[in-house]
Amino acid sequence: MDFTNVNARGLVLLGCGKMGSAMLAGWLADGLSPSAVHVIDPAPSDWLQSQGVALNGPLPPSPAIAIIAVKPQMMGQALPQLQSLENTLLLSIAAGTSIAAFEQHFPGAAIVRAMPNTPAAIGQGISAMVGNAATTADDLDLAEGILRAVGEVVRLDAEDQIDAVTGLSGSGPAYVFHLIEAMAAAGVAQGLDPELALKLATHTVAGAGALAIASDEGPAQLRINVTSPNGTTQAGLEVLMPELPELIARTVAAATSRSKELKG
C-alpha cells in the first residue's frame, strides 16, 4: 500500500485491542508512519505504548481515514470521540454494527464496513468490505488498500452478506484453532507426545491451507489426492465425512445469527 496520503493527513484508530493492534502492526510494517497514527483507547497495551504513535491526544481535523475497532457494545460511548472529523473516510471492522447505525452518528459521511480476521497480524488475513452510498471509488480503493496491507480483500455487493462473512471467515480462525487442538489431542490419544502432536497438527493445517491457496485444484480434488483406495485416509474420512459438514453448517449458522443479533 502507498501510505503517502495517509502519512500526510493522518490515520485515526478508535480501539486498539486484539484486532486493532493486529492491523496496526501490519500497517506499520508496510510503511505507515507512526507519527501519522492517532489511537484512541482508554486501556492501551504495552505494545501500543512502545510504537511511537499518538495516544489519546487531540485528533487532526481531517485525517484520511478513521478505523473503528471497538466492540459493538462500546460503540455508543466510543463514536462521539470521532465527531470532530471532517472529510474523513470511516472504516468499521466491528461485527454487528450496521452502516445505517454509523450514518445516524455521522450523517453524509463516507463509511465502509469490513470484516477482517486475526491472521491479519501476520499479513495473512482475509477481509470482506462494502461501502455506503456516499463512498467514492477513491474511498473504496483507500479502504481496500488499508485492508490489503494485512491480507486478501473481497468486495461485497450488499451489506447483508456481512453476517455470513462474520460467521465464516471473521470467526473462522477460532474454528481452525479448535481443529488443531482436537487433532493434537487425537494424536496424543494414539500415543504421540503432546508437543510432537501439536507440531504435526499445526503444520498439517497450515500446509493444507497453503496448498489449497496455491493449487489449481479445488479442495475436493486435493482431498482425493491424499486418499489411496482402501488406505488410511479413506478409513479416517469414513468417520469424519458423515459428521463434519452438518457440524460446520450449524457452527457457521450460530455465528451468523449472533452477528444478526448484534445489529444496531
Ligand X SMILES: NC(=O)C1=CN([C@@H]2O[C@H](COP(=O)(O)OP(=O)(O)OC[C@H]3O[C@@H](n4cnc5c(N)ncnc54)[C@H](O)[C@@H]3O)[C@@H](O)[C@H]2O)C=CC1
Q: What is the DSSP letter of 91?
A: E
Among 16, 32, 168, 255, binds ligand X (CB under 6 A): 16
Inter-residue contact 63 to 10 (CB < 8 Å): yes
> Smaller CB distance to ligand X: residue 96 or 187?
96
Residue with the CB atom nearest ligand X in the bound state: 17
217 CB contacts (<8 Å, ≥6 apart)? 225
Return the closest-CA partner of residue 40 out of 58, 18, 22: 58
Starting at the earlier edge strand, list the strands of the sheet with 54-55: 54-55, 37-40, 11-14, 65-68, 89-92, 111-115, 125-131, 151-155
> Smaller CB distance to ligand X: residue 48 or 197?
48
Interface with ligand X, residue 70, by CB under 6 A: yes
Interface with ligand X, residue 80, by CB under 6 A: no
Which residues is 67 bridged to in the sheet?
Answer: 13, 91
The C-alpha cell at 211 is 496448498
The C-alpha cell at 118 is 486475526
Q: Using CB under 6 A, which residues numbered 142 to 181 contact ligand A1CAB? A: 166, 170-171
Interface with ligand X, residue 258, by CB under 6 A: no
Select from 74-82, 143-151, 192-200, 204-212 the region that touches ligand X (CB under 6 A): 74-82
Interface with ligand X, residue 118, by CB under 6 A: yes
Report the nearest approach of ligand X to the CB of residue 137 (Å).
Answer: 25
Interface with ligand X, residue 117, by CB under 6 A: yes
Q: Which residues of the chain form contacts with ligand X (CB under 6 A)?
A: 14-20, 40-43, 69-72, 74, 77-78, 81, 93-95, 115-118, 170
